[in-house]
Amino acid sequence: MSKLFRAVIMGPPGSGKGTISERIAHSFGLKHLSSGDFVRENISAKTEAGVLAKTYIKKGLLVPDHVMTRLLLPRLEEMTKCSWLLDGFPRTLAQAEALNSACDLDVAINLNIPLETLKERLRHRWIHPSSGRVYNMCFNPPRVQGIDDITGEPLIQQEDDRPEALVARLRHYKDVAKPVIDFYKAKGILYTYSDTETDQIWPNISTLLSTKIPTIQSDARCASTH
């Protein structure tokens, strides 16, 4: 059996993490794990950590480190036969250290996208709240404007995606992410990519992963964890 491969992808809101994660999962057979999906699943299932997370989200607050680690680490520890890419976690140094104590990462991908590009992307971003599906009115619009393709429910634009809130949100991301980036740089597994277009970044990430993942992983080995 080929060696398992574990990676994280980091980047500010609007950096294209979700799109690139899906491409990596499709091209290399990794399981794409979204922290947002984990949170929604736990809230839906009314787990103890999910109920706790919901109290913060309803107040418009970030879910704190100790709750996020309780949501994610047990699931990751179950995935003993699965290669994965984690998107949206860790966001803070405390989360990175908790993840480091639970498993060994092979690669940390960091997307460094210019501020003006992020502002432009987020201006056109609409979300289906209950599933987390993201649409961009310029390059990934819904079939019917303002309506989710799958459920037919209305889409919303998040308050903090609006221009007046955006600069503060991105500045906060940068402050919190810097220690995480430094942590992975010190471990020698950080790879940073900068461009205004996801399609320009993707070939470089694909080339990197081709050298890091010797064989295509089998998705079947992940089936029992879902």
Percent of all residues in the chain with a pLDDT value above 70, rounded to a whole number: 91
Q: How confident is the model at residue 155 (pLDDT cuts 50, 70, 90)?
A: very high
Enumerate long-range contacts of 158-163, CB under 8 Å, 24 or more apart: 158/125, 158/127, 159/60, 160/13, 161/13, 161/14, 161/122, 161/123, 161/125, 163/119, 163/123
pLDDT at residue 223 greater than cutoff 80: no
Rg from Cα positions in the chain: 17
Backbone dihedral region of 16: left (phi > 0), alpha (psi from -120 to 50 degrees) or beta? left
Residue ranges of the binding site for AMP: 35, 40, 61-63, 88-91, 95, 169
DSSP 175-187: HHHHHHHHHHHHH
Q: Are 8 and 108 in contact (CB under 8 A)?
A: yes
The pLDDT assigned to 161 comes to: 66
Degrees, nearest 5: CA angle 93-104-175: 15
Close Cβ partners of 49 (under 8 Å, ≥ 6 residues apart): 42, 67, 70, 71
Beta strands (DSSP E) in 55-170 are 84-87, 107-111, 125-128, 133-136
Which token pair is 64?
């704190």
The pLDDT assigned to 221 comes to: 45
Q: Which stretch of 48-57, 63-72, 154-163 has the lowest confidence by average pLDDT?
A: 154-163
The pLDDT assigned to 218 comes to: 45
Beta strands (DSSP E) in 148-224 are 190-193
Q: Which residue has the higher pLDDT, 87 or 217?
A: 87
Residue 113, CB half-sphere, CA atoms under 13 Å: how many?
25
Which token pair is 133?
């599906």
Would the CA dihedral through 124, 132, 143, 206 be positive or negative? positive
Residue ranges of the binding site: 14-19, 35, 40, 61-63, 88-91, 95, 125, 134-135, 169, 198
Residue ranges of the binding site for a ribonucleoside 5'-triphosphate: 14-19, 125, 134-135, 198
Residue 168, CB half-sphere, CA atoms under 13 Å: how many?
6
Q: Are 155 and 146 in contact (CB under 8 A)?
A: yes
Place of tokens 């998705």: 219
| pTM greater than 0.75 (yes/no) | yes
